[in-house]
């Protein structure tokens, strides 16, 4: 998602705009949905899209409460690693309600930011926020598929994704597509939850992530079922070192990651090599 993504937020794309998934576009925010069992691989895209449609109205407030506002600092650190050129074009993938997009233009008002997400209710929230947060600066939100981006090769000077990569079904294909639309010398920065290497810290984080988050998600986010699914999306996600390897396999150079919160959060990055 969706900054489809969320801190509470692997091989087909969850972003495929299938006919089944289009139901999200016309769904009422308070319409109930069944999240009682995990989605199949073939149905994951529509499942995740509908889930984000349901929680979109309270998504921002839930994130702030569940992370005690720490997620804002994590985004600022991710943007500092991106370091796009002034006046450059940045694509914010699985942008959700636009958290990273707005952080980007606040840090550098000369940037042209395109936010892409597959769930229209999330994008509606982003456009509403833009009226008060973008203040005429260059932020555009469009519906799209992160595995089939509607842009030519080498279109952007940087790319971001926040708390969403673990929700795509084909991580490798997604990374290759992101690299395709980036210009030589530009960087992709991915912020997401990760698997803390310290056993004690992992146990404490798991207690919070798998038990407290669903409870808070029900109270604040409006769907305990959705906030039960989102933490479990980490279960089959690569650990930080393995995800760095996936970046390298997709063709990124100078890859690495910065662990935060004892490794429970990680910022991964990779650069498109300059042409010789």
List pLDDT tens digits, range 231-268.
778 888 999 999 999 999 999 999 999 999 999 999 99
Predicted confidence (pLDDT) per residue in 96-147, tens digit: 999 999 999 999 999 999 999 999 999 999 999 999 888 767 999 999 999 9
Using CA of residue 171, residue 147, residue 254, residue 266, what is the dihedral sign? negative
Is pLDDT above 90 for 68? no
Per-residue confidence (pLDDT) for residue 217, from 0 to 100: 82
Strands 265-271 and 182-193: antiparallel
Give the strands of the sheet with 265-271, arranged side by side: 139-143, 112-117, 89-93, 156-162, 182-193, 265-271, 253-260
Instruction: With CA atoms as reference, report the closest residue to 170 among 145, 135, 143.
Output: 145
On the question of pLDDT at 34 being above 70, the answer is no
Render pLDDT for 213-235 as a digit per residue (tens, 0 to 9).
Answer: 888 888 888 777 877 777 778 88
Q: Are 98 and 6 in contact (CB under 8 A)?
A: no
Does residue 113 contact residue 101 with C-beta atoms inside 8 Å? yes
Confidence of residue 276 (pLDDT cuts 50, 70, 90): low
Looking at residue 197, the DSSP 8-state letter turns out to be S
- CATH 3.40.50.150 matches 23-271: yes
Instruction: Could you list the beta-strand ranges (E) of 118-242.
Output: 139-143, 156-162, 182-193
Condensed to tens digits (0 to 9), the pLDDT of residues 263-272 reads 999 999 999 9
Does residue 28 surpass a pLDDT of 50? no
Maximum pairwise Cα distance, the chain: 55
What is the DSSP secondary-structure string of 31-64?
-----SSPPPTTTHHHHHHHHHHHHGGGHHHHHH
CA 90 to chain centre: 15
CB atoms within 10 A of CB 80: 11
Higher pLDDT, 176 or 20: 176
Q: Quote the tokens at residue 191.
A: 């912020």
Identify the helix (H) or strand (E) that includes residue 93: strand 89-93
């Amino acid at each position: 998602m969706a900054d489809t993504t969320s801190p509470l937020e692997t091989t087909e794309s969850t972003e495929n705009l299938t006919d089944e998934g289009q139901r999200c576009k016309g769904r009422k925010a308070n319409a109930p949905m069944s999240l009682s069992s995990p989605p199949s691989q073939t149905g994951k895209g529509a499942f995740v899209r509908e889930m984000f449609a349901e929680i979109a109205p309270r998504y921002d407030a839930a994130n702030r409460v569940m992370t005690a506002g720490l997620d804002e600092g994590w985004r600022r650190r991710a943007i500092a690693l991106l370091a796009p050129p002034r006046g450059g074009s940045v694509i914010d993938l699985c942008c959700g309600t636009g958290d990273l997009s707005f952080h980007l233009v606040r840090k550098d008002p000369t940037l042209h930011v395109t936010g892409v997400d597959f769930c229209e209710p999330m994008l509606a929230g982003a456009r509403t926020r833009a009226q008060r947060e973008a203040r005429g600066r260059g932020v555009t939100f469009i519906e799209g598929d992160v595995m089939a981006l509607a842009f030519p090769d080498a279109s952007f000077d940087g790319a971001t994704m926040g708390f969403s990569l673990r929700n795509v079904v084909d991580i490798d294909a997604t990374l290759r597509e992101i690299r395709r639309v980036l210009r030589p010398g530009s960087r992709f920065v991915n912020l997401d939850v990760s698997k803390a290497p310290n056993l004690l810290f992992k146990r404490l984080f798991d207690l919070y992530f798998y038990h407290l988050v669903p409870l808070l998600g029900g109270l604040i986010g409006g769907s305990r079922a959705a906030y039960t699914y989102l933490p479990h999306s980490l279960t089959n996600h690569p650990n930080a070192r393995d995800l760095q390897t996936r970046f390298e396999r997709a063709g990124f150079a100078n890859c690495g990651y910065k662990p935060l919160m004892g490794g429970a959060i990680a910022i991964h990055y990779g650069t498109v090599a300059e042409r010789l």
